[in-house]
Amino acid sequence: METQNLEKPRETPTGGVQTYMAGLVMVVAGVVLAGVFLQALYFAVFLIGMGMGLIGCGLTFFDLNCRRQLVVRKCLYSVFVFWLLSFFIVEGLIFLAAKTDADIAVNYLIVLGSGTRGDTPSPTLKSRLDSSMMWLGRNPDLKLIVSGGPIKGKPFSEAEVMKRYLVANGVDENKIIVEELSTTTRENIKYTKQLIDRLGTRSQAVAVVTSDFHLFRAKYLARKYYPEVYGIASATPLRSRINNIFREYFAIMKLLILHEFFEI
């Protein structure tokens, strides 16, 4: 009796279809979100990146008999899992650092800039300035250093806008030191250190006043310049909170990869 070799029917790659479709939905959602709501741009970028990763993983299911496809699939999954893991670790660090330190004993508060709307502080910057005024009210001997560079198309700097806001709200002008060259967080810290050095202050313990989501990165950079660093967290306006939290992930990864590993 003649035996027939029956070919095993190929399985339908259901998991691949589901992964691919989930990725496609995330990409479309990210594109729509970026186009409709600009303040959620970094969250949209996160969705698009995650969606593209899922699409890539889903596509590798469609040739189950190819050994090379299995290798590619494993590599893509490994990269995707590593990226997702890095996201949760970094976000965890951001949330753990997003609070005001206890027992702050300093001579200077460094208020970091965060954008303006013409000649007035943005809501995020206003929150930082309000937090600094609260601490100054409790500790009248403190000096405030407002740090923010030139504003495109304007004859004044962000630091000048910050100073005007503080003075208009009752802060003594003599308590305010202006640093108006910096355009990044690293430069905020670096140039304020140069100012304090020129003042010849013996104790260089400082408190950095910035938004809660930004505190981890700000303190990380400040520790490279100051022997003792504290953080004062200001509340982030709800409208921009999600976008800023996702943006901060990319900023921290850039800091760790480009500046720490490659020293760019």
Mean pLDDT across 46-71: 70
Q: How many Cα neighbours within 13 Å face the side chain of 187?
A: 11
- Output b/e per residue, 71-80; b: 16+ Cβ within 10 A: ebbeebeeeb
Give 2-12 pLDDT, tens digit per residue: 555 545 545 54
DSSP label at residue 38: G
Least confident range from 67-71, 172-176, 207-211: namely 67-71
Q: What are the sequence ranges of the domains in the chain?
A: 14-97, 108-237
Residue at token pair 């007035």: 120
Give 191-247 pLDDT, tens digit per residue: 999 999 888 776 678 999 999 999 999 999 999 999 899 999 999 887 778 888 888
Give 126-145 pLDDT, tens digit per residue: 999 999 999 999 988 899 99
Average pLDDT, the chain: 83
Mean pLDDT across 69-86: 77
CATH class of the domain whose range is 108-237? alpha beta
Round to whole Å and give the CA distance between 210 and 216.
10
Do 59 and 78 form a contact (C-beta atoms < 8 A)?
A: no
Round to whole Å and give the CA distance between 210 and 243.
16
Mean pLDDT across 10-38: 70
Query: What is the value of pTM for the model shown?
Result: 0.78
Q: Specify the higher pLDDT residue, 100 or 65.
A: 100
Mean pLDDT across 94-114: 92
Letter for the amino acid at 10? R
